[in-house]
Amino acid sequence: MSAAGTRASGLARLRPLAGILTALLVAQSGTRISAIAIPWFVLVTTGSATQTGLVVFCEMGPYVVIKAFTGPLVDRVGPRRISRVADVVSAASALLIPLLHAEGMLSFGALLVLVAVIGAVRSPGDLAKDVMIPEAAERSQVPLERATGLAGVIERLSGTVGPAVGGALIGLAGPMTGLGVNAACFALGSLIIGVALPRGMGQPHGRTAEEREDESDTEGGYWRSFRQGFAFLRGEPLLLTLSAMIGITNLLDAACIAVFVPVWAKESGYGPAAIGLVWAAFSIAATVGSLAAAAVAHRLRRRPVFFLGWLVTGAPRFLILASGAPLWVVVAVIGIGGLGGGFLNPIIGAVQYERIPPEMVGRVRGIAQALTWAGIPLGGLLGGAAVAGVGLGPVLVATGVLYFLTTNLAGLRPEWHEMDRHRGKGRAGSVPPTPADATQSAP
């Protein structure tokens, strides 16, 4: 085969993974733009921080709740179809906001409803794309850690580029333009899933005998499927402990982002520019860490890398903010933390995908992600109450200690030794791709 033919064959093989990563980049970038546009629109039109917080809660609350219950639907209908439909509905809902505003018909109540719809529909759309990553890795013949590492890179890039582009766009053209771009991103994501992914990818997996018996009873089948996912997660100590640990750290991270860093920037006199500098350093370093993880994580022992990453990215952030250190030291410590954090999601994703049977990925991942995200809507509320009660310094120290105990001492539990048990064996219940499967990426 000629060099050109070899390159073409290699590109065709990578098409499934490239397609899903592109769809993730578009969707997540649009979401980051929306995360700036909607709160800013409410703040400048109402002047109320309370209403701004309520809008954010109305999006994230349904997002977390719905994610727990849509897993069985993703498994039954198929992630490809769910992703496309969810993106189309999200695009229509996002586009309605500027259209109603232009007609003078956008009341605050209507905005809350539309934002809640976006959050509720975006949740199964995100889950569906997430579920397709291991299949894309298998079809592209890419190690699972590398695929999840690249997904982590996409998440970090969208978290860095999306806010920067969104902030500039909203500053120049206003928040309604940002929401229009968000709607376009949702629509483009649906198009990519439909066109760029190979035919046959993202279809429902074979159901169990019990599920086939329930096909005539949709409601009974759904709840049986949900219970099976919950029972599977409960019967996997490693996955359950992992979900509980990440749920606590997400709550603490949400408090840090929403309250601790802004209060620190105000009390230290560094101002809002320091907030952007701190999180830019973290995001850039986390992107580098994710790239490194995509390149080498599949060759490393997971458990030591995992807990070293938590040690670097966790408690030091809170302790350095409490120390009164100069700005450059704070930025350096938090940046190093981002580097360690870049290795976490690739390992977490690989462990989960390997241990969950393909036909149950949607429902188990949905429940697990709902557990890990449950504290995020409450993080800012609890963090604000704690700072108001005892002051920023003591809260930062206490949070750093809690973070350390949660992420490192918890690692002494015996189930963590199983992180490498299924490594290299493919996903639970899956069949290694045959030579015919390897060429299935062609349309």
Give whichever of 42-46, 191-195, 220-224 has the largest mean pLDDT: 191-195
CATH number of 6-145+155-204: 1.10.3470.10, 3.40.120.10, 3.40.50.300, 1.20.1250.20? 1.20.1250.20
CATH topology of domain 222-424: Growth Hormone; Chain: A; (1.20.1250)
Under DSSP, the state recorded for 430 is -
User: At which residue do the structure tokens 């409960």 appear?
Assistant: 234
Do 6-145+155-204 and 222-424 come out as alike in CATH topology? yes
Q: Is the pLDDT of residue 218 over 70?
A: no
Separation CA 322–CA 380 (nearest Å): 18
At residue 409, the pLDDT reads 74
| SS3 label, residue 202 | coil
Report DSSP letters for 256-270, one per residue.
IIIIIHHHHHHHHT-
pLDDT tens-place string over residues 288-322: 888 887 777 677 788 888 888 899 988 999 999 99
CB contact set of 44 (below 8 Å; sequence gap of 6+): 175
Separation CA 289–CA 441 (nearest Å): 29
Q: Cβ(176)–Cβ(36) under 8 Å?
A: no
User: At which residue do the structure tokens 């903010």 appear?
Assistant: 321
First to last CA, the chain: 21
**pLDDT class of 187 with cuts at 50, 70, 90:** very high
At residue 164, the pLDDT reads 67
Q: Nearest 10 degrees: CA dihedral of 238, 240, 245, 251?
A: 160
CB contact set of 111 (below 8 Å; sequence gap of 6+): 38, 42, 55, 97
* pTM of structure: 0.69
SS (H, E, C) 101-127: HHCCCCCHHHHHHHHHHHHHHHHHHHH
Q: Domain residues of the chain, as ranges?
A: 6-145+155-204, 222-424
Q: Which residues of 158-177 are buried (b: 16+ CB within 10 A; e: fewer)?
A: bbbbbbbbbbebbeeebbbe
| Helices 237-255 & 361-373 angle (0-180, nearest 10) | 40
Separation CA 309–CA 312 (nearest Å): 5
Residue 64 burial (CB count, 10 A): 19
Alpha helices in 235-375 (DSSP H): 237-255, 261-268, 272-296, 302-313, 315-322, 327-341, 344-355, 361-373
At residue 257, the pLDDT reads 78
Alpha-carbon torsion (255, 181, 116, 107), positive or negative: positive
Please state, in angstroms and as integers, the Cα–Cα distance from residue 197 to each residue in 80, 140, 203, 443, following that order. Answer: 9, 11, 11, 9
pLDDT tens-place string over residues 113-127: 998 999 898 888 888
Q: Encoding tokens for residue 406?
A: 């949660």
Q: Cβ(378)–Cβ(56) under 8 Å?
A: no
Q: Cβ(337)–Cβ(387) under 8 Å?
A: no
At residue 100, the pLDDT reads 92
| SS3 label, residue 362 | helix
Among the ranges given (39-48, 342-351, 426-435), the one the predictor scored with the smallest mean pLDDT: 426-435
Q: Is the pLDDT of residue 97 over 60?
A: yes
Q: Which residue has the higher pLDDT, 191 or 40?
A: 191
